[in-house]
Structure 1
Amino acid sequence: MQGRVFACLLLSVALVSSAVADSWRLVTGDDYAPFTGESLPAGGMLTQVVQSALAAAGISNTLDWRPWNRGYLQTLRGDYDATFPYVRSVQREQEYFYSEPLFTPQQHIFSRAGEVIEVTDIASMLGKRLCFPLGWQSPPVLQQMLDRGQLVRHSPAGLKECAKLLLLGRDDFFISDHRLGLTALQASGAPMSAFRRSTETLSSSALHLIVPRSHPRAAAIIEQFNEALAALHASGEYQRLIEDYLQQLDKH
């Protein structure tokens, strides 16, 4: 009996060790500056965080770039071990486990100059056209308004399209992290004076690395990544990476 218990323990250790030894297959998407992007330094701020945490923990990985929806579905069917960065949603929580937060952006409302739309003034949003990219999860307060028919949502491919649609008058506002929104506005080619950013912020939504619940090593991968991320925080390296990256952005 003792021999059988010992054998089971060895098997458990072997399974956990294999999760460490294998190269993790990661996937993310493009055009999500400053968080991810093929043309960004280090692939984006959160790509750098993820890969720095894994490197410090001695976990090798490969990273592919795919359209967001394709990468999400390919991870779900087992082509990849994990994908990032994603906010929580009811549907995703049914399909994926979430890591500890990679970063918690502060979301603002961006509208046309002269059109005041504020988070604290619900009436200013009633009947408006919200531009929110395909696959993005709406903040709860806005989702409730959408469900009640108080807002109309338009879902183009990305925020750059949203900025252009605002200028054309086809949509009224979009929601975004401060720096992500500014990047989209700059990409539109219009002067910053053509837009307005809300003074108040929406409730923040953390971004995570996610692993399919169906993955045979899901629990081990999430545990290992969380430990690696915690070590990055404890060493002070996480804060240094974030501050250095944001300072680089502010210089451009």
Structure 2
Amino acid sequence: MVASYRSALLAFGLLICAAGVQAQHLKLVTGEDYPPFAGNDLADGGSLARLVSVALQDAGHTSEIAFKPWSRGYEETLSLAFDATFPYQITPDREADFLFSAPLYEVRSRFYVLQDSALHSGERDELRNAVICLPIGYALNGWVAQHSQEANLVRPRNMDQCHEMLIRGRVDALISNAEGVAFQLFMRQEENSLLRPLPHSLANSSLHLIISRQHPQASQILTRFNNSLTALRDSGRLLQIVAEPVAIIPAQTP
């Protein structure tokens, strides 16, 4: 009986030690402008930055999040300067270099136009000659991805510039999602009725945390992270975290 108790106690101690070895301080990076999901001027870094931080904490990790241009953060995660980056949609090119977490959130990509626009469907034939805005670093979806050479795309630095160009008539449509459009209109103090979505949806896309396939602990980190996401989703906390309003952090004056 004593021997069995000691064996059980030893096994329990080894489990605790193993968990301690796996827990790490992780360096993450995300983009500077993807409201309301991520951004250096958003409270908590945005709704998905908040979710990622909570999930990592629940998994036993501490973490810090840097904000960089999308391409730089992506490349520096690939080269292991950062442990992970987010939020990214799955594409074949990305899958070749990265492992993907379970979905953080799902967005529906659509075309948005001004209320008085002559565009009505969002299908390829109708938009063949339209000027379409999508910030650089954002993934192409649907027929735009399949026929990107035909699409007349404008790729500014951020989504706010897309909204500005649409309102000023410099582009005919922008590609976004309901959450992003609502946030932009709120921050610009514009009426929700200013824009309307075209009915033809480009894609329903899930957003993920990604880790370079070259990272020596990629699988272990993702397993713990995914387990945390599952627990958050099952408890209802995930939707609460993502749905919590995101505020803009006022710029600091010198």
Matched, 1:39 2:41: yes
Among candidates 68, 81, 86, match of residue 84 of structure 1: 86
Gaps of 5+ in 2: 1-14, 249-254
Tell me the secondary structure at the aligned position of residue 123 of structure 1: coil
Q: List per-residue Cα deviations over 1:93-136 (Å, max 9, x = no partner).
A: 11111101000012221113311434563322111111111111
Aligned partner of 2:130 in structure 1 is 128
* Offset at residue 191 of structure 1 (A): 5.7
Does the 8 A contact of 1:56 with 1:228 survive in 2?
A: yes
Matched, 1:109 2:108: no
Tell me the secondary structure at the aligned position of residue 25 of structure 1: strand
Give the 4+ runs in structure 1 shifted more than 6 A.
none
Q: 1:241 to 1:190 in 2, by over 3 A?
A: closer
Higher alpha-carbon deviation: 137-146 or 235-244: 235-244
How many residue pairs are counted as aligned between the two chains?
234
Tell me the secondary structure at the aligned position of residue 26 of structure 1: strand
For 2:144 and 2:165, how far apart are their aligned partners in 1? 19
Aligned partner of 2:244 in structure 1 is 244
Aligned partner of 2:223 in structure 1 is 223
Aligned partner of 1:181 in structure 2 is 181
Aligned partner of 2:8 in structure 1 is none
Q: 1:131 to 1:176 in 2, by over 3 A?
A: same
* Offset at residue 183 of structure 1 (A): 2.9
Aligned partner of 2:165 in structure 1 is 165
Does the 8 A contact of 1:109 with 1:197 survive in 2?
A: yes
Q: 1:75 to 1:18 in 2, by over 3 A?
A: farther
Structure with the higher fraction of residues in helix conformation? 1
Among candidates 61, 72, 75, match of residue 74 of structure 2: 72
Structure with the higher fraction of residues in strand conformation? 2
Does the 8 A contact of 2:110 with 2:198 survive in 1?
A: yes
Aligned partner of 1:142 in structure 2 is 144
For 2:166 and 2:133, how far apart are their aligned partners in 1? 8
Q: List per-residue Cα deviations over 1:223-248 (Å, max 9, x = no partner).
A: 121111112112221122233348x8
For 1:234 and 1:159, how far apart are their aligned partners in 2? 32
TM-score, normalised relative to structure 2? 0.81
Does the 8 A contact of 1:26 with 1:83 survive in 2?
A: yes
Q: 1:189 to 1:145 in 2, by over 3 A?
A: farther
Does the 8 A contact of 1:28 with 1:68 survive in 2?
A: yes
Alignment of 1:21-36 (within 5 A): 21-36=23-38
Aligned partner of 2:12 in structure 1 is none
For 1:239 and 1:190, how far apart are their aligned partners in 2? 26
